Amino acid sequence: MNNVFAGRQKLVIYLTMIPGFVVFCLFGIVPSISTLIISFTNFTAIPGIPASFVGVSNYIHIFVDNAQGVLQSLKDTLIFAASVTVLQNAIALWMAHVLTKKFPGVKFFRTLVFMPAVLGVTIIGLMWSLIFAPSGGPAAGILSLFGTSSAFFGSSRFALPLVIFVQIWANLGFTTIVYIAGINTVPVELGEAARIDGASNWLNFWKVTFPMIAPSLTVGVILAAAGSLRTYDLIYVLTDGVNNTNTLGMYMFNTAFQGSSNLGIGAGIGMIQFVLTIVVVLALQKYLARREEAMS
Amino acid sequence: MKPIRRRFSHDWWRYLFTLGLVVIILYFGPLVFLANISLETESQFLTNSMSLPHPFSWSNFAQAWQQASMGEYFLNSVLYTVVPTVIALMLSLFLAFPISRQYVRWARQLHVLLTSGMFFPVAVIPLFIEARMLHLYNNRPGYIILHIEDAMVFGFFLFVGYFRTIPRELDESAVIDGCGYLRYLFTIVGPLARPAFATMGIYAGIQIWNDLIGPVVFLATPSLFPLSRGLFVFYGTSASQWTLLAAGVLIAAAPLIIAFLLFQRYFIQGATAGAIKS
């Protein structure tokens, strides 16, 4: 298409685009391709130590020397991601189903469920750490009524389920919005007709609404899966990866920036996480797309 | 035939009861607990944190504010949020307008490339090495520069779509009237695109404000920390002073909750647009 701006003005257009483009190359393209390169080096976070290429030795370290660590991390990641994806979508579906009805306070409830999205991981993490404080916290108080106690985030049995709970709590509103948008595209008349024909509310939802929001399900599931396979900031606040909560993201971060500060090995773990995420997301996408076709 | 439009849905009280109860307990409950704890004394928290505070220990707030040096962190957060968001907004405007209008060569390819930026893998390790090489590590200008890209790519994605709603004829008449490109962008396009700017600014701004990994990786000197990390450090050092921590968390949450209530519409728009992002 031809440009209505000519001569000097055209030059201005190009000149003003340069800074943004430089920023994009420098902090977008370069870092995203160099994780792979760094995974073949022995970079450390400690300044002043020269780095060199070490071939695949970081991967040998990850998979052979420290196989236990990566296996445990894979297990934690899969449990975390699968639980979050399934539960978050199931609960959000129910929430959206109810929140698209008309009843007093519905707007207030929508706002409340969405609020964590704005609070950020530090506030959310510290708030739940407080509630699950092993001595004196409200949750401990409730347990003591039953004559029992728990270390919560400090317990190897409960830390992961609790982390999963907080992760879902924080992102539920977002997934719910996706489903609300989907349900709003379903014509109201359809549900009304089914209801007059005597379909129960539950049947109505499964037989009428649910098949019609197949595209929303695809979006909701993919986003939750990709997000939960990559995230680690909330886990960092809650447990810092101890007690079976060492997901690949957490493992990568702690390897790279804590203790030995080995950026090369960290980048290797980052690549494993990246490949896992891509494989899972592509598989889900294929499956859900086929399901969408079958539904329509 | 039954009337189709009613004020409330069939069985509305059941929805109100089930969902209302769940949401109030899980989403309002924690905040109420937090407020309750923040007003208790240390000894009261340890004996019975669930009871109402008696006497009200308002001093927790002042003490948390001081002990966690929240004032200092707060100013850092404002600086770190406002400056990169405004710069990113400008840069993405400069990129998005000519590309959406195809006023430049390779517009289509550039569009695909910049949009794909939203899907790039998280690359905190290479960014750390780059930050050190480019002297962006552990200083305010560096920290600001490192936060531009993410917000800019998001803004680009949002603006390209929005600019399509502004008719091309407007560009033509501006040129005929002798209006230069920059003046046109700032005095005509800018005001027209205000809703898109608001969505981008509020959504991207809150992402930066809440970033915790960024300050952990790119900053080392405590006086440079934003509130997100400052609060986390306070959690580490105030070990088991839970009442102070509760007060600190509430102080940090208050401006976010207020911003959310004021700009909810923009924030939800941003989140839906960013759906494809995260």
Residue A227 pLDDT: 92
Q: How far is CA A233 from CA A166, A187, A196, A246, B257, in A?
A: 12, 40, 49, 12, 21
Q: What are the structural domain ranges in chain B? A: 12-63, 70-237
pLDDT over 90 at B129, yes or no = yes
Low-confidence stretches of chain A (pLDDT < 50) are: none
CATH superfamily membership of A61-295:
MetI-like (1.10.3720.10)
Average pLDDT over residues B43-57: 79
Chain B residues touching A177 at Cβ < 8 A: 268, 271-272
Residue of A258, B235, A116, B88 whose CA lies nearest to B225: B235
Q: Tell me: ipTM over 0.85.
A: yes
Rounded CA separation B47/B60 (Å):
18
- Determine whether the interchain pair B206/A201 forms a contact, defined as Cβ–Cβ distance below 8 Å: no
Residue of A31, A36, A30, A90 whose CA lies nearest to A275: A36
Residue A207 pLDDT: 84
The overall average pLDDT reported for chain B is: 89
| SS3 of residue A44 by DSSP | strand
Residue A186 pLDDT: 85
The overall average pLDDT reported for chain A is: 90
User: Residue A136: which of B45, B232, B264 has the nearest Cβ?
Assistant: B45
Q: Spell out the residues 6+ positions from residue A264 whose beta carbon is closer than 8 angstroms to its own.
A: A38, A39, A40, A41, A42, A43, A44, A51, A54, A58
Chain B residues touching A149 at Cβ < 8 A: none
Chain B residues touching A9 at Cβ < 8 A: 175, 180-181
Top CATH class of B70-237 equals: mainly alpha
Q: Between these two residues, B272 and A21, which has the higher pLDDT value?
A: A21
User: Residue A120: which of B24, B171, B210 has the nearest Cβ?
Assistant: B210
Query: What are the DSSP E strand ranges found in A100-249?
Result: none
Average pLDDT over residues B47-72: 85
- Determine whether the interchain pair B37/A130 forms a contact, defined as Cβ–Cβ distance below 8 Å: yes
| Apex B242 CA angle, B241 and B248, nearest 5 | 100
Residue of A235, A291, A255 whose CA lies nearest to A38: A255
Residue B12 pLDDT: 78
Average pLDDT over residues B208-214: 96
Instruction: Name the minimum distance, in Å, from the CA of A72 to any CA of chain B.
Output: 22
| SS3 of residue A41 by DSSP | strand
Average pLDDT over residues B138-161: 95
Q: Residue A201 is encoded by which pair of tokens? A: 């509310």
Chain A residues touching B114 at Cβ < 8 A: 24
Res. B278 pLDDT band, cuts 50 70 90: very low
pLDDT over 90 at B125, yes or no = yes
Rounded CA separation A17/A71 (Å):
46
Place of tokens 């986003």: A223
Res. B5 pLDDT band, cuts 50 70 90: low
| SS3 of residue A53 by DSSP | strand
Residue B4 pLDDT: 52
User: Residue B271: which of A9, A177, A253 has the nearest Cβ?
Assistant: A177
pLDDT over 80 at B3, yes or no = no
Q: Spell out the residues 6+ positions from residue B140 whose beta carbon is closer than 8 angstroms to its own.
A: B76, B79, B80, B224
Per-residue pLDDT reduced to its tens digit, A47-64: 778 888 999 999 999 999
Q: Is the separation of the CB atoms in B136 and B84 below 8 Å?
A: no
Residue of A282, A264, A292 whose CA lies nearest to A54: A264
Rounded CA separation A287/A282 (Å):
9
Q: Is the separation of the CB atoms in B9 and A94 below 8 Å?
A: no
Q: Between these two residues, B72 and A197, which has the higher pLDDT value?
A: B72
pLDDT over 70 at B276, yes or no = no
| SS3 of residue A262 by DSSP | strand
Chain A residues touching B19 at Cβ < 8 A: 95, 98-99, 109
Q: Is the separation of the CB atoms in B251 and B61 below 8 Å?
A: yes
Alpha helices in chain B (DSSP H): 12-23, 29-38, 42-48, 59-67, 70-101, 107-116, 124-133, 140-146, 148-163, 168-176, 181-184, 190-192, 194-210, 213-218, 227-237, 242-273
- On whether any CB of chain A is under 8 Å from the CB of B245, the answer is yes
Rounded CA separation B199/B264 (Å):
10
- On whether any CB of chain B is under 8 Å from the CB of A24, the answer is yes
Per-residue pLDDT reduced to its tens digit, B81-108: 999 999 999 999 999 999 999 999 999 9
| Apex A159 CA angle, A144 and B32, nearest 5 | 55
Residue B277 pLDDT: 47
Q: Is the separation of the CB atoms in A228 and A79 below 8 Å?
A: no
Q: Spell out the residues 6+ positions from residue A32 whose beta carbon is closer than 8 angstroms to its own.
A: B120, B121, B123, B126
